[in-house]
Amino acid sequence: MTAKFELFKDAAGKFRFRLKAANGEIIAASQGYISKAAAQTGIASIRDNAASAPIEDLM
pLDDT confidence tier of residue 1, bands split at 50, 70 and 90 = confident
Closest listed residue to residue 17, CA positions, set 50, 36, 2: 36
Q: What is the pLDDT of residues 21-42, one digit of tens each?
A: 999 999 999 999 999 999 999 9
Q: Which CATH number fits domain 4-48: 3.20.20.100, 3.40.630.30, 3.30.160.160, 3.30.1490.20?
A: 3.30.160.160
pLDDT confidence tier of residue 46, bands split at 50, 70 and 90 = very high
Q: What is the pLDDT of residues 48-59, one digit of tens each?
A: 999 999 999 999
Closest listed residue to residue 43, CA positions, set 20, 59, 10, 13: 20
- Domain coordinates of the chain in residue numbers? 4-48
pTM above 0.85, yes or no: yes
DSSP per position, 1-59: ---EEEEEE-TTS-EEEEEE-TTS-EEEE---BSSHHHHHHHHHHHHHHGGGPPP----
